[in-house]
Structure 1
Amino acid sequence: MEIATQETQGKRTAYFGGLAIAIGGAILFSTKAIVAKLLYRYHLDAVTVIAFRMLFSLPVFAAVALWKMRSEPPLSRADAWRLVGLGLVGYYLSSFFDFLGLQYITVGLERLILFLTPTFVLLAGAVWLKQHISRAQWLSLFTAYAGIVLVFFHDLQGGMSNVALGSLLVLGSAIAYALYLLGSGEMVKRLGALRLVSYAMCVSSAACIGQFFVLRPAEMLVQPMEVYGLSLINGILCTVMPVFMTMTAVQRIGAGAASQAAMIGPVSTLFFGAVILSEPVTSWQLAGTALVLAGIYLLSNVKGNEK
C-alpha cells in the first residue's frame, strides 16, 4: 500500500513537473513578440531582427544536428529535401511573416492570431485530406474566430495604422506553421522530434542569415550592446529553450496536456505587453482573448475524445 502511494505521488510529481515545463516554455516562446517590439525601438527592421535571432540560436541547433548526424543513420535524399522544405516553410517563412506583422499590430493580437494554428491544421485536413469536421469542432472554430474578430476590430477602431496589413502577415505566419505541422507529422515519427527540429532550424537559420546579407549591408551587424543583449534573449530564451522545453513536456505529460498548458501564452503576452510595452488592455481585448482560448480548449478536448 505504501509503495503504491509512493508510486502515485511520484507520477503526480512528474506530471506537475512536466506541466510546469510546458507552461514555462509557452511563456518564453510568447515573450518573443515582446523582445521583437523592444528591438524595433532601435530602428531595426524585421530582416535584421530575425537574422540576429538566428545568429544566436544557430550554434545550439547546429550542435544538436551534428550530434544526431553522428548517432543516427544518414537521411535519404528524399527526406533531406523534405526537411529543407519544412525548414523554409515552418520556421523561415512563418517567422519572417510573424516579425513583419509585429511592426504593425499589438503583441496581444499577434499571439491570438498565431494561436489559431490548430484550427488551420483542422481546416487544411478537411480540404486536402477529406477529414470530417464534427459539429463540436465547427463550434470551437466559430468561437475562436469570433474572438479574433473582436480584438481585430477593437484595434482597428483604436487608430492603429496598418492593423489589417499586420494581421494578414501574422495570419500568413500561422498558416505557414500549420502547413509545417501537416508536413512533419509522418517524418517526426520516423526521425524523432529532436532530429527534425534541429535540422529544420538549421535550414531556417541559413535562410534568415543569408537573406540579411543579400538585402542589408554587413555594417548593420554593428549595433548597440542593448541590441545584442535583446537578440541573445530572443535567440536562446525565446527560441532554443521553448523548443526543448515543449518537447520535454510532451514526453512527460503528452501532447494534449502540453497544448492546453500552452494556452497561458496569449494571456502572458497580454500581461507583458501592458507592463513592458505599455500597450492598453481593454475589456474588449480580454473578451476576445477569452473566446479564442475557449475555442482552442474546445477543439483540443474534441480531438482528445476522438482519440
Structure 2
Amino acid sequence: MSKIATAAPIPAVSRPALIAGLAIAIAGAVLFSTKAVVAKLLYRYHIDAITLIAFRMLFSLPFFAAVAVWKMRTEAPLASADRWRLLGLGLVGYYLSSFLDFLGLQYISVGLERLILFLTPTFVLMITSLFLKRRISRVEWLALGLSYTGIVLVFAHDLGAGAGSTVTGSLLVLGSAVTYAIYLLGSGEMVRRIGSLRLVSYAMCVSSVACILQFFLLRPASLLIQPAPVYWLSLVNGIFCTIFPVFMTMVAVQRIGATTASQAGMIGPVSTLFLGFAILGEPITSVQLAGTALVLVGIYMLSLKK
C-alpha cells in the first residue's frame, strides 16, 4: 500500500520540480510494491509470516526510532490522548495490516495481492459512507464498479489456475486493505496537527515493537539463525521496501501534492505484475492485464475527486 496522507493543496510547481516529484513518487511506489516479490523469495526458505515480518522490522526499526527520538527532542511532547491514538494507529495501520498482508502472500500471486491492496481508497469511501453518512456520487459508484470488476476478473483467473488457496489469501489481504483504510481515516486529523514525519516514525516504532514481540512470544529464538540469503532479503525488505518508500512518498507529497503523488503511485500494481513475471516466473495473461486496467481506471477516477 502507498503511504500517502491527505495534504493541503500546494502552490504550482515548475516543470523540473514536477518531474522530480513524479520520479520520486513513482520510485517510492515501485519500491513499496517490491515487498511482495521479496516476501515470496523469503518464503522459499521455509520461514513463516511471523518470522518474515519480525526480520523486516528488526532492520527498519533503528531508522524509525532515530527519527522518533529526534522529533521528541525538537518538538513539544504529545498530549496523553495523542499517545494512545498513536498506539492504536500503529497497531492497526502498520502491525495488523502488514501482518495480514504477508500472511495472504503465502497463498496468492503478487499481482492479485497488490490489486487488492490498491482498493484501500474504495474502503475509505465506503467506511465514510456507512459511519459518517457521506453520500456516494454516481461517478464514485462507477469507479467502485470498475475497480471491483477488475478484482473479480483477476481473482477468478487465479482461482481457475489453482494458484494456492486463493480464497484464503485474498480474504487475508482484503483484511489488510480494510485495516489500512481505518488507519488512514484515523490518522487524517492527527497528521495535520503533529505532521506526517512524526506520525509515521512513531507509528512505525509501535508496529515494529509489536512485530518483534509477537515473534519472541510465538517462535523460538533459534529461528533468528537463518541462511545468509534470508538476512540479505530481509535487509532489502526493511530498508528498500519499507524505509525508502515511506519517506520518498512523503517528499513527493510535499513537492507535488497528495493527489498527483497518489496518481503517480498507480504504477505500483503494474510494476508488481511485471516484477512477479521477471523474478518469480508468475505468468501475465490478458485477463490479468484487463483486470489491472479496470482497477487502475476506477482508482484514478476516485483520485480526481476533491
TM-score normalised by L of structure 1: 0.95
Partner of 2:14, secondary structure, is helix
Structure with bigger gyration radius: 1
Q: How much does 1:10 deviate?
A: 7.6
Counterpart amino acid of 1:254? G
Between the aligned partners of 2:303 and 2:92, the Cα distance in structure 1 is: 24
Q: Once the two structures are superposed, what CA deviation does each residue of 1:178-230 show, in whole Å capped at 9, x if it has no partner?
A: 00000000000000000000000000000000000000000000111111000
Between the aligned partners of 1:265 and 1:10, the Cα distance in structure 2 is: 24
Kindly tell me the number of residue pairs found equivalent between the two proteins: 295
Between the aligned partners of 2:127 and 2:240, the Cα distance in structure 1 is: 31
Q: Once the two structures are superposed, what CA deviation does each residue of 1:71-103 show, in whole Å capped at 9, x if it has no partner?
A: 010011100000000000000000000000000
Between the aligned partners of 2:291 and 2:97, the Cα distance in structure 1 is: 23
Q: Which runs of 5+ in 2 are unaligned?
A: 1-11
Between the aligned partners of 2:15 and 2:288, the Cα distance in structure 1 is: 35
1:218 to 221, 225, 228: 221
2:187 to 180, 184, 189: 184
Counterpart amino acid of 1:234? N
Between the aligned partners of 1:129 and 1:237, the Cα distance in structure 2 is: 37
- Establish whether residue 193 from structure 1 lines up as the match of residue 213 from structure 2: no
C-alpha root-mean-square deviation of aligned residues, in Å? 0.9
Bigger fraction of residues in helix: 1
1:101 to 86, 101, 104: 104
Counterpart amino acid of 1:186? E
Between the aligned partners of 1:296 and 1:177, the Cα distance in structure 2 is: 16
- Establish whether residue 262 from structure 1 lines up as the match of residue 239 from structure 2: no
Q: How much does 1:11 deviate?
A: 1.1
Counterpart amino acid of 1:117? T
Matched with 2:70 is 67
Q: Once the two structures are superposed, what CA deviation does each residue of 1:40-83 show, in whole Å capped at 9, x if it has no partner?
A: 00000000000000000000000000000000100111000000
Matched with 1:126 is 129
Partner of 2:226, secondary structure, is coil
Q: What does residue range 141-180 of structure 1 map to in structure 2 within 5 Å?
A: 141-180=144-183
Partner of 1:243, secondary structure, is helix
Counterpart amino acid of 2:239? I
Counterpart amino acid of 1:137? E
Q: Which runs of 5+ in 1 are unaligned?
A: 1-8
TM-score normalised by L of structure 2: 0.95
Question: Structure 1 residue runs of 4+, over 2 Å off?
Answer: none
Q: How much does 1:148 deviate?
A: 0.1
Between the aligned partners of 1:18 and 1:294, the Cα distance in structure 2 is: 22
Percent identical: 73
Q: What does residue range 36-55 of structure 1 map to in structure 2 within 5 Å?
A: 36-55=39-58
